[in-house]
Amino acid sequence: MRNGASYEYLDHGGLVVTLHEELDLANYACFEADCARISAELASGAVGSLLIDCRETSTLGCTALGLFLRLWKVAERHGSRFALCGLSPLERETVAVCKLDRLWAIYPTRERAILGWSDGPARKSPRRAKSRALPGV
């Protein structure tokens, strides 16, 4: 999404995607193409940490959450980090209601997220949900 987002590559292999407008069906196609490129960079190891900065947006709908899930799956599969930062109160609530805060690291600011990355190599996202066997299975 060339106009709706900016991309900053950091020295340590991180990529910060800053959204400048709401991600919805109107601009989905453009961001989806960039999502494919970012996925390839995660898969190749060129990007070890991906941060989505939402400080300029106010809502996250199913379009945005779907693309974020797709990026998170690629990051998770290749041992890269995935995080969100700068969420509005409504965005935080949406992520929590969907229980995605159990999969994704959430930081208040971009600076805090980058500091969090400096504590060691990329690792899997923290999962707080415990899996358990189904009765009778």
| Residue 94 maps to a domain | yes
Answer yes or no: is 55 within a domain.
yes
| Domain-located, residue 133 | no
Which residue has 């409504």 as its token pair? 90
On whether residue 13 sits in a domain, the answer given is yes
pLDDT tens-digit readout, 40-65: 999 999 999 999 999 999 999 999 99
Q: How would you list the strands of the sheet with 81-85, edge to edge?
A: 5-9, 14-19, 49-53, 81-85, 105-107
User: What proportion of the chain, given as a percentage, has pLDDT over 90?
Assistant: 72
Which residues of the chain, if any, have pLDDT below 70? 1-3, 119-137
Structure tokens given for 100: 């995605």
The answer to the question of residue 129 being in a domain is no
Number of domains, the chain? 1
- Per-residue model confidence (pLDDT) at position 103: 95
Question: Residue 38's domain spans which residues?
Answer: 5-117
- CATH assignment at residue 29: 3.30.750.24
Asked if the structure places residue 122 within a domain, the reply is no
Cα pseudo-dihedral 46, 6, 72, 63, rounded to 10: -150
CA distance linking residue 5 with residue 64, whole number of Å: 13
How deeply is 104 buried, as exposed, middle or buried, from its count of CB atoms within 10 A (0-12, 13-18, 19+)? buried
pTM tops 0.95: no
Would 136 be classed as within a structural domain?
no
At residue 11, the pLDDT reads 87
Instruction: State the Cα–Cα distance between residues 52 and 84, nearest whole angstrom.
Output: 5
What number of other Cβ atoms are within 10 A of residue 1's Cβ? 20
In a domain, 20, yes or no: yes
